[in-house]
Amino acid sequence: MTKLYELPSPFENETGTVLMLEPSWARAGELRAQLLDESYPKPFVVDDGKSRFLYFNVRLMQSEMSLKTPNELAIRYTQKMMGFLLFHPRPRRIVLIGLGGGSLIKFCYHRMPGTQLTAIELDPNVIALRDTFLVPEDGPRLEVLQADGAEYIEKAEKGIDVLLVDAFDKTGFAPSLANREFFENAFAKLAGNGVLVINLAGEKETYAGLIGEAMHVFDDQVIVISVPDDGNHVLYAFKERYFEPRWRWLHNYAKELRAKFGLDFPAFVQKMERSTKLGLARREALRGR
pTM of the predicted protein model: 0.93
Integer Cα distance of 287 and 281 in angstroms: 10
Query: Is the pLDDT score of 177 beyond 90?
Result: no
256 phi and psi angles, rounded to 5 deg: -60, -45
Question: What beta strand segments (E) does 201-256 contain?
Answer: 222-227, 232-238
Cβ pair 11, 33 in contact under 8 A: no
Residues 6+ apart with CB under 8 A from 104: 73, 78, 81, 82, 96, 164, 166
pLDDT band at residue 228 using 50, 70 and 90 as cut-offs: confident
Integer Cα distance of 117 and 139 in angstroms: 10
For 257-281, the pLDDT digits (tens) are: 999 999 999 999 999 999 998 866 6
Query: Is the pLDDT score of 1 beyond 60?
Result: no
Cβ pair 227, 218 in contact under 8 A: no
Query: Is the pLDDT score of 193 beyond 70?
Result: yes
Q: How many CB atoms lie within 10 A of CB 127?
A: 17
- Looking at 1-15, 86-100, 105-119, 127-141, which range is the least confident one? 1-15
Q: What is the average per-residue pLDDT within 182-201?
A: 94
Specify the pLDDT at position 169.
61
Could you give the strand order of the β-sheet that contains 44-47, starting from the edge strand earlier in sequence? 5-8, 17-20, 44-47, 51-57, 60-66
Q: Which one is predicted more confidently, 133 or 212?
A: 133
Residues constituting the chain: 289
List b or e across 27-43, with b for residues whose CB sees 16 or more CB atoms inside 10 angstroms: eeeebbebbeeeebeeb
